[in-house]
């Protein structure tokens, strides 16, 4: 594990999802591992939903695995397949982090959700506290983390804009469990809702909010002092982020969320290694060529 010349199995970790080629996680984790003195190979592995069960079986039976970073569309599935889940994952039903624990025989997989910490840390750094009018775009697995992230910042209510409200109904249960009122609204009202928001979190895939961004950009009267976190960091800026910034709003790049959640993943993968959170965040920023947070 630490570079001490021991004969322990080579350590491995990976980010999994499909598609996965765009992921910056290998660069972030490699930088962190160098800083804390851990010899661990971290790769990106394309795993479609249909192959997830078999992949998890291989991880359980292969020595050396330390952890998995999990992206869409695998976040709900990995939560179901894990041997144990954190209290937060139990509520949300989605996980983006798996710690592989070895205690003789096959390994045990413990699922966590560091997306929530990534969202709350990124928004707090931008000055978001107790948002009264929060809006979430999209109703998938990252939206569940967004609900929890806003609840952690003191929000008491949030509007979730989705194309099929019925498919996002579980967010109502999640909100109730976390003490935040969730209202599901049709995507048709997105333009109106975001104009009156204090904070907007777009959890949509890349380019999925482009039409909304173009609508706002075309409105010469649109001005805002609200904060937008767009989790889609490639391409950047997104059409939505560009329109928001031009209207006077504050932009929190999806990269900030990725950075903060990755710091938490490294801590979970290697809890026995002393880690300075600020220093780990700093080298991760350096690795992707962005200003230190």
CB atoms within 10 A of CB 192: 10
3-state secondary structure of 227: strand
Q: Which two tokens stand for residue 237?
A: 């800026």
Q: Is 24 a catalytic residue?
A: no
Q: Look-up: residue for tokens 């139990």?
A: 90
Residue tagged active-site, from 66, 75, 112, 121: 75
Question: If residue 110 lies in a helix (H) or strand (E), which one and from where to where?
Answer: strand 108-112
Q: Which two tokens stand for residue 123?
A: 């928004």
- How would you write 4-71 as a 3-class SS string? CCCCCCCEEEEEEECCCCCCCHHHHHHHHHHHHCECEEEEEEECCHHHHHHHHHHHHHCCCEEEEEEC
From first CA to last CA, the distance across the chain in angstroms is 28
Question: Could you give the residue numbers annotated as active site?
Answer: 75
């Amino acid at each position: 594990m630490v570079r001490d010349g021991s004969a322990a199995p080579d350590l491995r970790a990976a980010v999994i999802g499909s598609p996965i080629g765009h992921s910056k996680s290998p660069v972030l984790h490699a930088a962190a591992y160098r800083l804390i003195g851990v010899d661990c190979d971290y790769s990106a592995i394309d795993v479609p939903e249909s192959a997830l069960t078999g992949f998890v079986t291989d991880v359980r039976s292969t020595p050396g695995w330390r952890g998995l970073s999990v992206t869409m569309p695998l976040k709900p599935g990995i939560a179901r397949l894990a041997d144990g889940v954190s209290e937060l994952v139990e509520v949300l039903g989605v996980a983006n982090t798996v710690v592989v624990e070895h205690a003789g025989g096959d390994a045990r997989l413990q699922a966590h959700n560091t997306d929530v910490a990534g969202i709350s840390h990124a928004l707090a750094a931008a000055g978001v506290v107790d948002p009264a009018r929060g809006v979430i775009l999209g109703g998938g697995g990252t939206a569940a983390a967004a609900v929890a992230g806003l609840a952690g910042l003191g929000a008491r209510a949030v509007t979730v804009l989705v194309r099929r409200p019925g498919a996002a109904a579980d967010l109502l249960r999640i909100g109730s469990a976390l003490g935040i009122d969730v209202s599901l609204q049709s995507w048709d009202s997105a333009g109106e809702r975001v104009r009156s928001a204090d904070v907007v979190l777009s959890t949509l895939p890349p380019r999925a909010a482009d039409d909304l961004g173009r609508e706002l950009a075309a409105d010469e009267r649109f001005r805002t002092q609200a904060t937008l976190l767009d989790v889609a960091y490639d391409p950047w800026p997104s059409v939505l982020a560009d329109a928001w910034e031009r209207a006077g709003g504050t932009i929190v790049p999806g990269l900030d969320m990725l950075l903060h959640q990755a710091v938490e993943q490294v801590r979970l993968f290697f809890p026995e290694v002393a880690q300075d959170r600020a220093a780990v965040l700093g080298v991760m920023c350096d690795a992707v060529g962005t200003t230190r947070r």
